[in-house]
Chains A and B, each alone.
Chain A
């Protein structure tokens, strides 16, 4: 009996939270128009959300690419197809690893920072104070951050893929002796702009949207205490990771499922 009560209470809580989250999303999207006329607000946030995530994305991309080079070479050389290493590295990065891994890193680096920042602003009454100054905190604080996250994500994913491809080249061509020209020309011939690159960009836009939304909402909805903010930050990372991986499956099925 206790179990059913627990289940019922949790379900109800989840649905009310989903409702609050959707309401928040509508307000956030409605606030975008007023942000667009003040681009310096977005630029400032893009610096803290995007530019400051540059290093972690760069280093992770490099190593992921280098590992792909090693693993790919090992498998492909069994079929005598080392020349197609470039295709393998580029396809896996552009289609999957670029958007997914950079979104996971983004959730850990920028998402958690956003949640903590908004949660602390709430705890120190800054949001409430802004409301009393007749300034809508959703328009002034949330919407610029959302737009910044949404726009930064595909750029970071593109950076991740580009650096990864170079990492693959360093290992494949530099250490393992794959021909440089073959690496690039095979890649050039096999990767399709529409099918691979555009689909990858769509993925990262979706991930950017969902991650930034979760991060901002968790911060805004946090219990305004030290413990509340810490729990909200954890939830941001956990829920973002679930959403990214779950949505990745759905998107992949929709994009590449028919062949």
Chain B
């Protein structure tokens, strides 16, 4: 099963080696290694709060790892100079969960934005490019709408058109299916798959939508508590012997991940325990004395 696992692969566009990253006390990633092959769709799956978005920000060079390194197209993202990083980012598209469209401009200008900032193309050529990208996501007719007039699914498609405006070598999708109705979901699944084939992109999808992701991914990593708990093709993942992976893929409420958040006291003790005095400080003001606040 683990035929590419921890050894750098010649065919990888992005490789993550022994990555460690913490937020405060909590270790988000604990020495993980991942490979993302060129031209393929690789999915990172796992429950909410396992730092999937953080991983994309690390790959994009917006956050710095504590340990380990990330190679994109043979270059170490975190040891690049600022200019070099920006040059690299022009070839990396990223689709944010919210779309992250600029709210001050309409759909057309949003898609034209990276072209106008990074190229000196004449306006007529920018127009053709923008219309081509919008046509690819099926929203050529929506070019005059403002971002607040778009539905969530449309906003994500516009953001996708913007992400491919500079013809990148890869796209990172942050939870592309979350909160979509079945129709927009189907449209997005189709788009991601077809863009990957027609443009020869490398796609990284971060998601917890099991069926949609498994339908289009070539390879899946399942993360939990900072570790890779399962990896393989969608078929291999479905047949995985790991209880954890089975619970995640089947959406079982209880299993290795418990239904109950750990509590200090037993349920019975907790119910029976009652503060004796009716007017105790604890009862009146809560557990802790209120935090002092600043003047503003």
User: CB < 8 Å: which of B100, B114, B162 contacts A124?
Assistant: B100
Q: Does B81 contact A (CB under 8 A)?
A: no
Which residue of chain A has the shortest Cβ distance to B87 in the bound complex?
Answer: A134
User: Provided the pairs A10-B294, A231-B296, A234-B296 are in contact, do residues A132 and B62 lie with their beta carbons within 8 angstroms?
Assistant: yes
Contact check, B62 vs A131: say whether CB atoms are below 8 A apart: yes
Decide: A134 and B62 in contact? CB cutoff 8 A.
Answer: no
CB distance from B23 to the nearest CB of A (A): 15
23 pairs from A and B in contact (CB 8 Å cutoff) = A6-B292, A124-B98, A125-B97, A126-B100, A126-B102, A128-B57, A128-B62, A129-B94, A129-B100, A129-B159, A131-B60, A131-B89, A132-B93, A132-B94, A133-B114, A133-B117, A133-B166, A134-B86, A134-B89, A134-B118, A135-B113, A135-B117, A235-B296
Across-interface contacts of B296 in A (CB, < 8 A): 231, 234-235, 238-239
A140 contacts partner chain B, Cβ-Cβ < 8 Å: yes
Interface residues of B (CB under 8 A from A): 57, 60, 62, 86-87, 89-90, 92-94, 96-98, 100-103, 113-114, 117-118, 159, 162, 166, 292, 294-296
Would A135 and B114 be within 8 Å (CB), given that A6-B292, A234-B296, A238-B296 are in contact? Answer: yes
Write out the residue numbers on chain B whose beta carbons fall within 8 Å of the beta carbon of A124.
98, 100, 103
List the B side residues contacting A131 at CB < 8 Å: 60, 62, 89
Chain A residues within an 8 Å CB radius of B292: 6
A140 and B117 form a contact (CB under 8 A): yes
Beyond A132-B62, A133-B117, A135-B117, is A125–B86 a contact (Cβ under 8 Å)? no
SS class of chain A's interface: helix, strand, loop or mixed? helix
- Bound together, the chains give a CA A159 to CA B97 distance in angstroms of 46
- CB of B96 within 8 A of CB of A128, answer yes
Expressed in whole angstroms, the Cα–Cα distance for A131 and B93 within the complex equals 11
The complex places the Cα of A140 from the Cα of B113 at a distance, in Å, of: 11
Contact of B103 among A126, A136, A231, A239 (CB under 8 A): A126
Residues of the B chain whose Cβ atoms lie less than 8 Å from the Cβ of A130: 102
A interface residues with partner B (beta carbon < 8 Å): 6, 10, 121, 124-126, 128-136, 140, 231, 234-235, 238-239
Residues in B neighbouring A129, C-beta threshold 8 A: 94, 96, 100, 159
Give min CB distance, B133 to chain A, whole Å: 14
Chain A residues within 8 Å of B117, by CB: 133, 135, 140
Known: A10-B294, A133-B89, A238-B296. A128 touches B118 (CB 8 A): no
Closest 8 CB pairs of A and B: A129-B100, A134-B89, A125-B100, A132-B94, A134-B86, A134-B90, A125-B96, A133-B114
Minimum CB–CB distance for B105 against chain A, Å: 11
Name, among B86, B166, B296, the residue most crowded by chain A CB atoms within 10 Å (CB to CB): B296
Nearest B residue to A131, CB-CB: B62
Report the bound CA distance from A219 to B117 in whole Å.
23
Complex: how many Å from CA A132 to CA B113? 13
Known: A10-B294, A135-B118, A235-B296. 5 other contacts (CB 8 A): A130-B102, A133-B166, A134-B114, A134-B118, A231-B296
CB contact under 8 A between A132 and B60, given known A124-B98, A125-B98, A126-B100: yes
B56 vs chain A, min Cβ distance (A): 9
- From known contacts A6-B292, A128-B62, A231-B296, infer whether A133 and B113 are also in contact, taking CB-CB under 8 Å: yes
Residues A132 and B92 in contact, CB atoms below 8 Å apart: yes
CA distance in complex: A239, B295 (Å): 11
- Contact present for A128 and B294 (CB under 8 Å): no
A132 touches B89 (CB 8 A): yes
Q: Which residues of A contact B90 (CB under 8 A)?
A: 133-134
What is the bound-complex CA distance between A234 and B293, given in angstroms?
14
State the CA gap A114–B113 with chains docked (Å): 21
State how many angstroms separate the Cβ of B179 from the closest Cβ of chain A.
15
Alpha-carbon separation in the docked complex, A173 to B117 (Å): 56
A128 to chain B, nearest CB (A): 7
